[in-house]
């Protein structure tokens, strides 16, 4: 069983709009055991649409089309589908009632152009759209199912959830697919690959392993497929546990966990409060923490001290200490983290000081040198990181590393 | 001249990652007169990659491939390209030196797997990657150019800007295209459209106008094309000036200007220093300011006070003031901005306090209510914003609005 998505619209090709629909559709179909084999984005051009449909129909059993169903002139998907199937259009009374109803609750009048929106190719099953004016369409021709949906994300989602997914489940027999994602931090992709080489080489054919890297972290995704739901579930769960036992010190979560949320949940669980003192991370650690709804329950704030004077004024770091060791040093980061704890009257604190670059590096402390201080009720420690010469990456990894080091310190207890 | 993008990776097909690379590449190529005709996303499967390359080579003169170049087993683009061209691999000494250098500045050792990253098909021109371990590759075979790039966005962007775009310009004859971008803040897309309707309707056919909205701001891009370089340049410059005269109060810059950098340049020009006091923006304003290299010359830091207690402890806001008016109020934001000025001993300050949500809203102060305080040597003022119920958008727009309000206050002088 093969499936493809075709997205139609010039705005996707010139980068004006990012195609988020395909990712959402791919994820939803994957949950019912259908893997998308190909996504094709093309111009809203009749010939281009027809040739792409012809190619897809040779490869796939299910072809999902989005875009090109709105009321304006550049929307031509519907007419092109009628040409592709060599059929006429018919007026769908019920689809028109939906349009009239939608306009009435929005206090608008129906125009001539909206009447055209209720026309569909005569060989389709209409998928009625309660949240927009363009109906979806389902075609079942020569053993291939074609589904055409509007490109507006919430209309597409409404029709997928209420009309398409139930019909697809009924129409196709699909294998059972399970994914499990293990989230690691603080180890590069190649080192991770070496550590789990034996595990990876021993994986059965029904299981695939993917490495998905981003700043400071690598997500490991195990995907299993088969016909026996119980069997696939058990195998993926067993392998996830096995993987977790090989690299426990690098794992901060599973599936869609986020590091700031994981740390927040730990703090809430232990009834502890947090503050930060940031130099090189420049407020980004505070931003990561406060991005999480409800973070005000455990997070008191941050002293972002971007100059030596502000470190002295706000955090009471002695000017002599900065002069003796430099602002980027172990004694200063330890003084910062202790001071944040006192100042905000909290149980835990994280501090950063480093050379984000591009200027400010020296032979002893090159750009990318970062000290992170972490303090819990049990211990206060400093860590030295070397993060390279990309300023924004250094800021991001310094902030995330601070959170991860606090997480590890809290788990020691 | 036809161009296509092929993106490789299961993570795109199952919706784990949204393909933002293609939109960025489409936009950049569009700027040099090349329109992408098709974007195809496929699995990291050898046969799938080869058949897609074959199809694309029949339609396009330029084929850009991203993804599948990392060090681990699931990355097979490189091997498949060698198969496609029927050539062997060669070890690229200079690419290996890049890997060794990158690892040394990150304080890590090179592993055996990294040696493989310096291998490339023998018929390619290596595109050296200074920001990551996977080199790009340029193939020019039978009148089609194929470019293979890593999927990590900042590595892809580095190689596009420094290696690919200059080579594409040289290799292909493209019509002359000029873009001019006017950056506005604080006015919605539809209001902007009304204000410039007469201007837009009078535009000649050779000029296109695009609205590119993002949080709080709308970029207006004028694109002119033609064969006479001088003529296109003059027309676009003239229209940019005309547009600037219609909406001067909303324009903060042109082309790739960034609001935090525009504000930083203004401060440097006037020899003024800045600090911030943040509640609802939670450190994001500090992050925006410190994202700019050299910001330590004028920015002293931020007091991120995320609780009422920390507002009192760190910023000396009287608890009675908070009790009387609430933390989200004009008197409190004015006290915060004045306090930040004193505490950091600076000339200018910005403060935010608001309800980012999803919790904490009341009928009088619903989610999205934000007070921004701005203080310069000449005046101190408070502004009320209503930013809606998207938490992350509220944080972002609150921070950007603070910067824009300071910019406008500084220009009054």
What percentage of chain A carries pLDDT values higher than 90? 77
Residue of B nearest to A274 (CA): B306
Question: What was the pLDDT predicted at A362?
Answer: 94
Structure tokens belonging to residue A182: 């293990």
Contact B43 A37 (CB under 8 A): yes
Query: How far is Cα B29 from Cα B144, in angstroms, rounded to an integer?
Result: 17
For B251-284, letters b (16+ CB in 10 Å) and e give: bbbeeeeebbbbbbebbeeeebbbbbbbbbbbbb
Question: What was the pLDDT predicted at A413?
Answer: 63
Residue of B nearest to A366 (CA): B105
- Residue A268, CA distances (Å) to A183, A295, A302, A337 in order: 21, 9, 18, 20
Query: How far is Cα B352 from Cα B373, in angstroms, rounded to an integer?
Result: 6
pLDDT band at A73 (very low <50, low <70, confident <90, very high): very low
Encode pLDDT of A398-412 as tens digits: 999 999 999 999 998
Query: How high does pLDDT run on average in chain B?
Result: 93
Residue B159 has pLDDT above 60, yes or no: yes
pLDDT band at B75 (very low <50, low <70, confident <90, very high): low
Question: What was the pLDDT predicted at A70?
Answer: 64
Encode pLDDT of B352-375 as tens digits: 999 999 999 999 999 999 999 999
Q: In 3-state terms, what secondary structure has residue A3?
A: strand
pLDDT band at B71 (very low <50, low <70, confident <90, very high): low
Question: What was the pLDDT predicted at A148?
Answer: 97
Among B37, B287, B296, B360, the strongest candidate for a mutation testing the A interface, having the largest count of A CBs within 10 A, is: B287
Listed in sequence order, the residues at least 6 apart from A271 whose beta carbon sits closer than 8 Å to its beta carbon are none
Q: In 3-state terms, what secondary structure has residue B268?
A: helix
A301: nearest CB among B14, B35, B306: B306
Residues of A in contact with B289 (CB under 8 A): 282-283
Listed in sequence order, the residues at least 6 apart from A150 whose beta carbon sits closer than 8 Å to its beta carbon are A66, A67, A69, A70, A129, A132, A134, A136, A156, A159
Residue B52 has pLDDT above 70, yes or no: yes
Q: What is the ipTM of this complex?
A: 0.81
Helix (H) or strand (E) holding A239: helix A229-246
- C-alpha distance from B265 to closest chain A C-alpha (Å): 17
What percentage of chain B carries pLDDT values higher than 70? 98
Contact B105 A388 (CB under 8 A): yes
B212: nearest CB among A16, A284, A294: A16
Average pLDDT over residues B4-17: 91
Lowest mean pLDDT among B48-52, B159-163, B189-193, B256-260: B189-193
Encode pLDDT of A375-391 as tens digits: 999 999 999 999 998 99
Residue of B nearest to A289 (CA): B282
Residues of A in contact with B291 (CB under 8 A): 282, 391-392, 395
pLDDT band at B380 (very low <50, low <70, confident <90, very high): very high
Lowest mean pLDDT among A76-80, B91-95, B141-145, B330-334: A76-80
Encode pLDDT of B29-49 as tens digits: 988 889 899 999 999 899 999
Question: What was the pLDDT predicted at B370?
Answer: 97
Query: How far is Cα B289 from Cα B406, in angstroms, rounded to an integer?
Result: 13
**β-pairing verdict for A369-375 and A380-386:** antiparallel
Encode pLDDT of B186-214 as tens digits: 988 878 988 999 999 999 999 988 887 77
Residues of A in contact with B17 (CB under 8 A): 23, 212
* CB A171, CB A147: distance < 8 Å: no
Contact A18 B20 (CB under 8 A): yes
Residues of A in contact with B32 (CB under 8 A): none
Whole-structure pTM value: 0.81
3-state helix, strand, coil in chain A (%, to 5): 45, 25, 30
Q: Could you give all domains of chain A from N- to C-terminal order, each with its CATH number? A: 3-171 (3.40.980.10), 176-254 (3.30.70.2860), 259-412 (3.90.950.20)
- C-alpha distance from A16 to closest chain B C-alpha (Å): 7
Contact A213 B39 (CB under 8 A): no
More confident residue, A177 or A354: A354
Query: How far is Cα A96 from Cα A100, in angstroms, rounded to an integer?
Result: 6
Residues of A in contact with B391 (CB under 8 A): 291, 293
Residue A54 has pLDDT above 90, yes or no: yes
Residue B106 has pLDDT above 90, yes or no: no
Average pLDDT over residues A219-223: 92
Residue A379's CB is within 10 A of a number of other CB atoms, namely: 10
More confident residue, A253 or B68: A253
* CB B36, CB B5: distance < 8 Å: yes
CA of residue B219 relative to chain centroid, distance: 12
Average pLDDT over residues A226-255: 95
Helix (H) or strand (E) holding B153: helix B153-159
Among A302, A316, A388, the strongest candidate for a mutation testing the B interface, having the largest count of B CBs within 10 A, is: A302
Question: What was the pLDDT predicted at A308?
Answer: 96
Among B29, B302, B328, B398, the strongest candidate for a mutation testing the A interface, having the largest count of A CBs within 10 A, is: B302
Listed in sequence order, the residues at least 6 apart from B315 whose beta carbon sits closer than 8 Å to its beta carbon are B277, B303, B305, B335, B336, B339, B340, B343
Contact A41 B20 (CB under 8 A): no
Query: How high does pLDDT run on average in chain A?
Result: 93
Contact B14 A287 (CB under 8 A): no
Q: Choose among B73, B92, B148, B13: nearest CA to A189.
A: B73
Residue A360 has pLDDT above 60, yes or no: yes
């Amino acid at each position: 069983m093969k499936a493809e998505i075709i997205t139609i619209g010039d705005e996707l090709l010139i980068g004006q709009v990012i195609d988020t629909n395909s990712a959402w559709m791919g994820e939803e179909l994957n949950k019912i055991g259908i893997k998308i084999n190909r996504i094709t984005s093309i111009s809203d051009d009749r010939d281009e649409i027809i040739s792409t449909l012809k190619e897809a129909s040779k490869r796939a059993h299910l072809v999902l089309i989005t875009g090109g169903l709105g009321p304006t002139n550049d929307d031509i998907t519907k007419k092109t589908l009628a040409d592709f199937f060599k059929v006429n259009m018919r007026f769908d009374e019920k689809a028109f009632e939906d349009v009239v109803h939608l306009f009435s609750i929005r206090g608008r009048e129906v125009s001539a152009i909206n009447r055209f929106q209720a026309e569909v190719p005569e060989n389709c099953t209409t998928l009625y759209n309660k949240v927009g004016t363009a109906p979806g369409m389902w075609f079942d021709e020569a053993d291939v199912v074609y589904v055409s949906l509007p490109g507006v994300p919430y209309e597409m989602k409404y029709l997928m959830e209420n009309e398409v997914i139930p019909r697809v489940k009924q129409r196709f027999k699909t294998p059972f697919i399970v994914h499990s994602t293990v989230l690691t931090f603080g180890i590069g992709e190649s080192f991770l690959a070496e550590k789990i080489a034996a595990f990876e080489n021993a994986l059965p054919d029904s299981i695939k392993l993917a490495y998905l890297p981003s700043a400071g972290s690598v997500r490991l995704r195990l995907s299993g497929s088969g016909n026996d739901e119980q069997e696939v579930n058990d195998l993926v769960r067993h392998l996830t546990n096995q993987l977790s036992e090989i690299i426990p010190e690098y794992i901060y979560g599973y599936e869609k966990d986020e590091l700031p949320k994981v740390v927040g949940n730990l703090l809430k669980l232990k009834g502890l409060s947090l503050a930060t003192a940031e130099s090189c991370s420049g407020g980004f650690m505070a931003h990561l923490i406060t991005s999480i709804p409800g973070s005000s329950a455990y997070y008191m704030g941050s002293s972002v001290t971007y100059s030596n004077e502000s470190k002295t004024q706000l955090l009471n770091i002695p000017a002599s200490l900065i002069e003796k060791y430099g602002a980027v040093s172990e004694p200063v980061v330890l003084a910062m983290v202790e001071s944040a704890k006192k100042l905000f009257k909290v149980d835990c604190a994280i501090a950063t000081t480093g050379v984000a670059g591009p200027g400010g590096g020296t032979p002893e402390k090159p750009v990318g040198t970062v000290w992170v201080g972490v303090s819990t009720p049990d211990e206060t420690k400093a860590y030295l990181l070397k993060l390279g010469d990309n300023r924004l990456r250094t800021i991001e990894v310094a902030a995330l590393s601070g959170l991860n080091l606090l997480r590890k310190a809290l788990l020691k207890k």
